Amino acid sequence: MKQGIHPKYYTDGIVCGTCGTVWKIGSTRPNLRVEICANCHPFYTGEQRIVDTAGQVDRFMRRLNVAQERQNERESRRAARTQPEKKSLLKEIYGEDAE
């Protein structure tokens, strides 16, 4: 190898910003950081963690609740609007046997 043409080689490793796990690897960059790794990613850990950025989960839950309330209101109006079935005039006059 020629001297002085290769970049400096660092063996510090990669650091996860979420859980703090450090992997010892070689790189030409001194500090490598990742936001999420296999130790804390929900797909690999099997647990569901919702990372709420800017209240998106709260907005979604509010919209979901409003939609469910509207649906319940429609159902109650629809149930109140249905009238009990009237007896046929023929059945009223001649009894149940008239057909």
Per the structure block, which two tokens stand in for 51?
A: 């990372």
What does the alpha-carbon distance between residue 86 and residue 81 come to, in Å, rounded to a whole number?
Answer: 14
What does the alpha-carbon distance between residue 12 and residue 18 come to, in Å, rounded to a whole number?
Answer: 18
Fold observed for domain 1-49: Rhinovirus 14, subunit 4 (4.10.80)
Tens-digit pLDDT profile for residues 8-54 = 888 888 888 878 888 888 888 888 888 888 888 777 777 766 666 67
First-to-last alpha carbon distance for the chain, in angstroms, is: 106
pLDDT of the residue at 64: 95
- Looking up tokens 């647990």 gives 47
Residues in contact with 28: Cβ distance below 8 Å, sequence separation at least 6, in sequence order:
7, 8, 9, 10
Residue spans of the domains in the chain: they are: 1-49, 52-82
Tens-digit pLDDT profile for residues 48-98 = 666 666 788 888 889 999 999 999 999 998 888 876 677 777 777 877 765
What's this model's pTM, rounded to 2 decimal places? 0.36
